[in-house]
Amino acid sequence: MQYVHSLNLTLSCRSREHAGTERPARSKNVQILAGGGTVGTCAKFVLRRRSALLDLKGRKKAAPILEPIAAGLAKIGVTPTVVTIVGLAVTVGGAVLIASGYLFWGGLTAGTGVTLDALDGPLARRLDRASDRGAFLDTMSDRLGEIAVWVGASVYLRDEPRLLVLCIVALAFSLLVPYVRAKAELAGLDGRGGWMGRAERMILILIGMMAVGLGLQIMEPLLWVFVVLTGLTVAQRIRKTWQQLEA
């Protein structure tokens, strides 16, 4: 869906292909279209999924893909901890590329890191090495990877105050989503739910970054959609937890 009006903004470090090598370039008076099919498609996907990627049903659907890979890693002696650390390192590498203006390759690299990180659970179960320590490391890796991506985006947009503020708000909401769940579970309550689980957040922002890297001028609507949906998820989890608390 396209809107009637457009916004004129200066977008720093727009990535593009030049002589076979991608190089960051400054673009002046770039016309940012207020809309775009990519953002709309990603948003519809998120709303339809309702965080299914994070629940048991979503994991079962992903199992046919993840389990064979986990089996191969187990055969060559790779441990879940190694997979978690490598996944985080690759995600951080993608964030560095995003900060440098290579949005497509940064999004693709960070997405690869996120995918690697999803393998530690199946691998731990296959090796019968699931533990509280591993779960803690996985959670910390998830948060650090997400922070890295948003720091990279913030550095890339450092010359655009409005977009930079949106990045900061997006990061704050992203951290609040698991925080509300953790506080609820600490009280013995169910704090899950909402549209924007970690998988949905990473899918939306990384595919969006890749689309911008390919030349689609959707950065601002992408950030707005992310902020609104993630903010609503925080509100949904707070409401669900509040309803379970005794007066």
Give the separation between CA 185 and CA 190, rounded to whole angstroms: 6
CB-based contacts of 246: which residues, under 8 Å, 6+ apart?
Answer: none
Tokens of 123: 């691998």
List 120, 132, 142, 190, catalytic entry: 142
Give the separation between CA 51 and CA 33, rounded to whole angstroms: 28
Inter-residue contact 176 to 227 (CB < 8 Å): no
CA-nearest of 242, 137, 134, 241 to 181 is 241
* Angle 171-173-177 from CA coordinates, rounded to 5°: 120
Sign of CA dihedral 212, 216, 218, 219: positive
Tokens 């690869």 belong to residue: 112
Inter-residue contact 14 to 27 (CB < 8 Å): yes
Q: Active site includes 142?
A: yes
> What is Dmax (Cα atoms) for the chain?
66
Tokens of 152: 């990279």
Q: Are strands 21-25 and 14-18 parallel, antiparallel or unpaired?
A: antiparallel
What residues are annotated to the active site? 142
